Amino acid sequence: MKRLISIIALIVFVFGLENVTAQKGISFQVSYYSGTNAGRYVNKDIREFHAFQKDLDDFYEAALRDRIRKSKRIKKDILSRMRNEVNDTKNRIRYVKYELDYSNNQGLRKKGTRGNEYSKRKGNTVHVSYKTLAALQRQLNKQSRIVVKLENMYLNDGRNFFAQARRHQKLMEDFADILKDDINYSFKEYRNRNRRGR
């Protein structure tokens, strides 16, 4: 009888230990596949990324078919999306600066009035620190440089239209990589914050 109880206790302990080790391996998988409907994603950053990626594919297809007017129209749409992302990054930097200044005056803060996490978008929270501020400023510089270059480039019809479109597409892909890194960083911050028990 004692052996049976000890064997059952050992089995329960092993299953419990296995469950704990399985929870450590849980991670977020962000799908960047653009063939799905972007509206089904809850996180606004991922929806915007899918819409940006779809516009980028449309631009490339229009350039392959020598549709100059359509390429120019899609370029305008993409530039509009890029400017919105730059403005969003500026707002995040402004928020982080405010929170860093506000967190230095701990005596003036009322309990429970405001947290130190950016939560304008669902699931996209940023833990406030000077490291985060520096990363956001680097991201803003990269984004601004790409937007300025793209605004100053022209799409002229002629025999070198496809080469011009390829240069445009390269800049747009660089911007998409920045967006992808931002999404990955946001999910990493969310995962780390939840593991620490915040």
For the chain, domain boundaries? 51-106+114-195
Residues 6+ apart with CB under 8 A from 50: 34, 36, 38, 41
Considering the entire predicted model, what is its pTM? 0.65
pLDDT at 34: 43
Q: What is the pLDDT of residue 198?
A: 45
- Find the mean pLDDT for residues 51-79: 90
Between CA 132 and CA 108 the distance in angstroms is: 24
Do the Cβ atoms of 135 and 89 come closer than 8 Å? no
Helix, strand and coil percent figures for the chain, each rounded to 5: 75, 5, 20
Q: How far is CA 125 from CA 8, 81, 109, 135, 185, in A?
A: 44, 21, 21, 14, 10
Which has the closest alpha carbon to 175: 13, 55, 62, 6? 55
For helices 44-64 and 161-195, the axis angle rounded to 10 degrees is: 160
Which range is most confident: 95-99, 109-113, 138-142, 191-195? 138-142
- Which tops the pLDDT comparison, 65 or 114? 65
Percent of the chain beyond pLDDT 70? 67
Q: Select the highest-mean-pLDDT range: 35-44, 122-131, 157-166.
A: 157-166
Interhelix angle 130-152/68-104, nearest 10 degrees: 160
Q: Are 53 and 37 in contact (CB under 8 A)?
A: no
Percent of residues, the chain, with pLDDT higher than 90: 25
Higher-pLDDT residue of 26, 53? 53
Of the listed ranges 29-33, 132-136, 162-166, 171-175, the least confidently predicted one is 29-33
From 81-90, 98-107, 128-137, 170-179, the region with the lowest mean pLDDT: 98-107
Give the pair of three-digit tokens for residue 48.
Answer: 């915007």
